[in-house]
Chains A and B, each alone.
Chain A
Amino acid sequence: MTEKLKEYHAPVWNESSIMELGYPGRRGLLFSEAEPNIRERFPEPEALIPASMRRRSAPALPEMTEPEVLYHYLRLSQQTLGMMGMSIFGTCTMKYNAQINEAMAWRPEVTELHPLQHEDTLQGALEVVYGMDTILRELSGMDQFVFQAGGGADAAYTSAVITRAYHAARGELAQRDEIITTIQTHPSSAATAAAAGFKVITLMLDENGYPSLDALKAAVSDRTAALMVNNPDDMGVYNPEMKEWVRIVHEAGGLAFYDHANFNGAMSKLRAREIGFDACMFMLHKTFGAPKSGVGGPAVGAYGCSEELARYLPAPVVTYDGDRYHLDYDRPHTIGKIREFWGNLPVIVKAYAWSRSMGAEGIAQASDISVLANNYMEKGLLAIRGVTRSHPNASTPRLEMTRYSLQQLKEDTGVDVHDVQNRMTDFGIDAMWTSHEPWLVPEPFTPEAGEMYGKEALDRWIAVLAQISDEAYSDPGLVKTSPHNQAIHRLKAGMTDDPSSRAMTWRAFLKKRNNGALGAGPHDPAS
């Protein structure tokens, strides 16, 4: 490293908690009084509440003006790095959230709709939903999509609930109480299967980076309800035996669900139905360019399935008779609801807009570029001292992600992956993703380059990691005490978990502080 890279610095506002701001009597929003006719009839509104249910003391909320609230939150937004620099957070497939899509989704024709309006008044919204359904059918080969699930995990849950309905209809649900997944499938598949009442069998990887066919054969039985799996997995490894897996599960009477969370590496290259899957899921808030909002949503897990399973889909389903669009609630075999209403329309609008902006060529191009970018980065990253790649035996090019390890760096210097994450933010780079639990690879990290960033941005990411490696070998304290350029420093270890110090609300914090469990606050007069 000849020349040091330039660093970033976050705004440091030292912004107080909103619970400490304001002044008694200030107002942020006024309501004009009810008209005289109304007030004359009901002069004492509290008399309309049974005495036992009246609120006795006002909530201790801050009392602030509108600009005080606005600028407080604008300052907080400025102290949120997110994608303002660069974020290539593995499995989250960070994409550009196009401003035209935001602008369209915030039009009153979307925001001011009630979900129970008559379908005649929702024709535009239903046309967009149906349009997205049609696009996803082409991408997957499935026969019908629904958008009720509020995220990818929610769509995995939808799949588990539909699996229950399918086997219950055959009278086999009590017997088929097992769902098979793999250790590198997203934790939400295992978790939703368990929450739906199934026992979960998790297959471990062999030296090729995916579980062996023999392991699957040993797990499958007449108790198998379904297989829930991703492909490629969270390390960019594709299981080439998946057609055989699906055949074996089907032969045993189970269903096969394809979690397409890692779709960039497969997008336009294969279709879930043609591999044999009965159902799949797409995440509109990542693969299709809608925002993730802090792994927070609102999001949509679009769930699609074969015609055979379509009867069990959560209602309503959006249908088209060639002339008008309908919300079809009349579905006698439906599993009912996974979440109220029929989906996060603004997210569907954004995903539809992204798909129309990309077209078939753009979607294929995005897949190509993200796989190319990952392999380009791999060459640069593996040249960095202390960095190794997982599963060295799996030597073919990874798809859109690669799992690396900083174990060598840690052994040599004492600097661990969390230290490196923190130091990266000093360069305006969002903390890279490590791995889901459990860590199969020590000190893991998993960048996913995606299609948005240019070569020069990828080069900078590589250069930042290279410089941090140099720092680790020459001045490890610099990395271990990072970040140095953020709004605040690292949290004290353990305080957010320890029952005596953790506080999920300001009122809990005040109680624990007053009990002496915590030190004085930032604005405590005594401090």
Chain B
Amino acid sequence: MSVPTPHPYMANSVPALQREMLDSIGVDSVEELFVQIPEDHRLQRPLNLPPRLSENELRRHLIRTLSKNTTAETNLSFLGAGIWQHHVPAAVDEIVRRNEWLTSVFGEPSSDHGRNQAWFEFCSQLGELLNMDLVGLPVRSWGTAAGHALRMAARLTGRNEVVIVRAIDPERLSVIRNFCEPPEMASHIGIRLVDFDAATGQIDMEDLHQAVGPQTAAVYFEVPSYLGVIESRGSEIAAIAHAAGAQTIVGVDPISLGVLSAPADYGADIVVGTIQTLGVRMHAGGGAGGFIASSDDPRYAAEYPALLISISETLVAGEHGFGLSLFHQSSYGLRDKGNDWTGHSVYMWAIAATAYMAMMGPRGFEEIGAQILQRAHYASQLLSEIDGVDVHFPAGFFKEFVVSFNATDKSVAEVNRTLLDDGIFGGKDLSTEFPELGQSALYSVTEIHTLADIERLSGALRKAIA
């Protein structure tokens, strides 16, 4: 044994107990149990790591280190672009932090019944928001959800090209590009990007018509788009995809679905999106999580890479439980012959999201949607009243909008630097991602932003561009 100090996390770190166990198996030292590892594989020195800390020291060390962060709680933040600041009820935090689910593994449907029921309720409630009957357990992010969905569409259609809107988060698109594989691979899926209309931010329908053809496996667009715009021709886009025999895949932020139409209602076959906005804090991006949903058609169910959970009768009449469904088609069941791959995802956030959706109810979603529309549009108008500041797509957006500083002599980086000095996190800089928008930034305004917050931003921006 290296050091005989008993550790609070290790019950057998008492030397006498180890002696007892060694005697029981009849060996002299633990070293004899590592005989499988050849000597020339062994590290010949102790590890060189920073010194061990007691809990008290650890707490002080971490608080000192983490206090070097400046948070979106003590500052006023307008950052969105894939992770958004919404109100998270305290009850949701209390529920999601319970040790019982935190420490579970697979379990049995009977012994981990409560967790399985919570997961099923997540899928059920999201299914109501989406008007869809089949919702999988969460995947790791919106981008991975989109990547998996595009691969599902390629398998469903036997085609190897997808059409994707260009007004998409470049991070998400980068994930999708990896999922679609480079051209050297036999299973490569080609990507055609469809432009957006410079005046409205909506899909360029002529470009879409040209891009979609008999080779198209899927058309992927988002409502609202990355630039915040509510696409108004959802059914027209779906019809174009369907006429070519392609799948329609729509990405959504479900916080909008109390006021915006469910994508299934304008023709979506597969819907993906984030679950972060449903009661999950930002966690520096660790709040990211995604979902995949579709109709209950067995053709779709057969292509899911995600784990699925189904309600079931038990052996006792009138009793129900919940168990994994179609596990055999996952990579756990079929290794390289399974659908893509599965593994650790963000299932804790499904528990946060199910509690959040239940607290919101239909009225909550309607109200939050209306509030976000009002507050974001008010902010957009107030900012566009500043000399030199414009909003690119001033009508028909949800939560996010593009603020242009092209008529000022300041870059977004300079503006954001000044705002930061005033305790404000300005919107995400779009100038390298979308050069055609010039010096523009993506601002996110949610239910948490008050009139005073918006006025404070407006005042600070006037100063920043002066």
Interface size on A, residues (CB 8 A): 223
Tell me which residues from 39 to 77 in chain A have a Cβ below 8 Å from any Cβ of chain B.
Answer: 39, 41-42, 45-46, 48-50, 52-56, 58-64, 66, 69-70, 72-77
Q: Smallest CB–CB gap between A7 and chain B, Å?
A: 13
Let me know if B171 and A337 touch, CB within 8 A: yes
Let me know if A17 and B49 touch, CB within 8 A: no
Across the interface, B69 reaches (CB within 8 A) one of A84, A113, A297, A511, namely: A113
Q: List 12 A-B contacts (CB under 8 A).
A: A31-B364, A45-B373, A125-B284, A193-B336, A195-B179, A292-B105, A297-B346, A297-B348, A336-B174, A368-B30, A398-B36, A504-B296
Let me know if B361 and A114 touch, CB within 8 A: no
CA distance A379 to B33 in the complex (A): 13
Let me know if B309 and A504 touch, CB within 8 A: yes
Q: Smallest CB–CB gap between A436 and chain B, Å?
A: 7
Let me know if A177 and B336 touch, CB within 8 A: no
Give the bracket for the number of chain B residues in contact with chain A. 35 or more
Across the interface, A488 reaches (CB within 8 A) one of B37, B110, B141, B340, namely: B110
In addition to A30-B367, A340-B142, A341-B82, 10 A-B residue pairs with Cβ atoms within 8 Å of each other are A38-B374, A39-B374, A114-B85, A125-B66, A188-B331, A192-B331, A297-B347, A337-B171, A361-B2, A362-B7
| Chain B minimum-CB-distance residue to A315 | B174
CA distance A40 to B307 in the complex (A): 47
Nearest 5 Cβ contacts at the A-B interface: A296-B347, A153-B343, A359-B52, A341-B285, A151-B344
Let me know if A164 and B185 touch, CB within 8 A: yes
Say yes or no for A304: interface residue by CB 8 A criterion.
Answer: no
Contact partners of B36 in chain A: CB under 8 A: 232, 237-238, 240, 396-399
CA distance A111 to B87 in the complex (A): 12
Q: Smallest CB–CB gap between A77 and chain B, Å?
A: 4
Contact partners of A30 in chain B: CB under 8 A: 367
**Stretch binding the partner chain, chosen from B95-103, B191-199, B458-466:** B95-103
Let me know if B124 and A28 touch, CB within 8 A: no
C-beta contact mask, B423-466 vs A, less than 8 Å → 1, else 0? 00100100000000000000000010011000000000000000
C-beta contact mask, B125-136 vs A, less than 8 Å → 1, else 0? 111110111111
CA distance A363 to B231 in the complex (A): 54
Q: With A268-B43, A269-B37, A504-B133 as given contacts, are A115 and B319 in contact (CB-CB < 8 Å)?
A: no
| Chain A minimum-CB-distance residue to B454 | A38
Q: With A28-B359, A340-B172 as given contacts, are A114 and B110 in contact (CB-CB < 8 Å)?
A: no
CA distance A305 to B151 in the complex (A): 28
CA distance A39 to B358 in the complex (A): 27
Across the interface, B358 reaches (CB within 8 A) one of A61, A92, A298, namely: A61
| Chain B minimum-CB-distance residue to A455 | B17
Say yes or no for A386: interface residue by CB 8 A criterion.
Answer: no
CA distance A139 to B48 in the complex (A): 9
Let me know if A84 and B282 touch, CB within 8 A: no
Say yes or no for A477: interface residue by CB 8 A criterion.
Answer: no
| Chain A minimum-CB-distance residue to B186 | A197
Contact partners of B42 in chain A: CB under 8 A: 269-270
Let me know if A357 and B58 touch, CB within 8 A: yes
Say yes or no for B32: interface residue by CB 8 A criterion.
Answer: yes
Let me know if A453 and B94 touch, CB within 8 A: no
Tell me which residues from 34 to 77 in chain B have a Cβ below 8 Å from any Cβ of chain A.
Answer: 34-38, 40-43, 46-53, 55, 58-59, 61-63, 65-75, 77
CA distance A138 to B50 in the complex (A): 10
Let me know if B336 and A122 touch, CB within 8 A: no
CA distance A197 to B185 in the complex (A): 6
Contact partners of B373 in chain A: CB under 8 A: 42, 45-46, 48-49
Q: Smallest CB–CB gap between A424 and chain B, Å?
A: 9
Q: Smallest CB–CB gap between A244 and chain B, Å?
A: 10
Let me know if B284 and A293 touch, CB within 8 A: no
Let me know if A61 and B129 touch, CB within 8 A: yes
Say yes or no for B188: interface residue by CB 8 A criterion.
Answer: yes
Q: Smallest CB–CB gap between A198 and chain B, Å?
A: 8
Let me know if A46 and B133 touch, CB within 8 A: no
Tell me which residues from 312 to 338 in chain B have a Cβ below 8 Å from any Cβ of chain A.
Answer: 312-321, 323-326, 328, 331-338
Let me know if A295 and B118 touch, CB within 8 A: no
Q: Smallest CB–CB gap between B434 and chain A, Å?
A: 15
Contact partners of A219 in chain B: CB under 8 A: none
Say yes or no for A460: interface residue by CB 8 A criterion.
Answer: no
| Chain A minimum-CB-distance residue to B331 | A191
Contact partners of A521 in chain B: CB under 8 A: 320
Let me know if B341 and A87 touch, CB within 8 A: no
Say yes or no for A254: interface residue by CB 8 A criterion.
Answer: no
Tell me which residues from 264 to 289 in chain B have a Cβ below 8 Å from any Cβ of chain A.
Answer: 265-266, 281-286, 288-289
Let me know if B113 and A31 touch, CB within 8 A: no
Say yes or no for B408: interface residue by CB 8 A criterion.
Answer: no
| Chain B minimum-CB-distance residue to A329 | B432
Let me know if A82 and B101 touch, CB within 8 A: yes
Let me know if B72 and A114 touch, CB within 8 A: yes
Across the interface, B260 reaches (CB within 8 A) one of A49, A78, A121, namely: A49
Contact partners of B127 in chain A: CB under 8 A: 504-508
Let me know if A339 and B140 touch, CB within 8 A: yes
Contact partners of A153 in chain B: CB under 8 A: 331, 341-344
**Stretch binding the partner chain, chosen from B203-211, B214-222, B349-357:** B349-357
Let me know if A340 and B288 touch, CB within 8 A: yes
Contact partners of A60 in chain B: CB under 8 A: 128, 362
Let me know if A82 and B103 touch, CB within 8 A: yes
CA distance A397 to B30 in the complex (A): 11
CA distance A437 to B321 in the complex (A): 25
Contact partners of A250 in chain B: CB under 8 A: none
Contact partners of B49 in chain A: CB under 8 A: 135, 138, 355, 359-360, 363
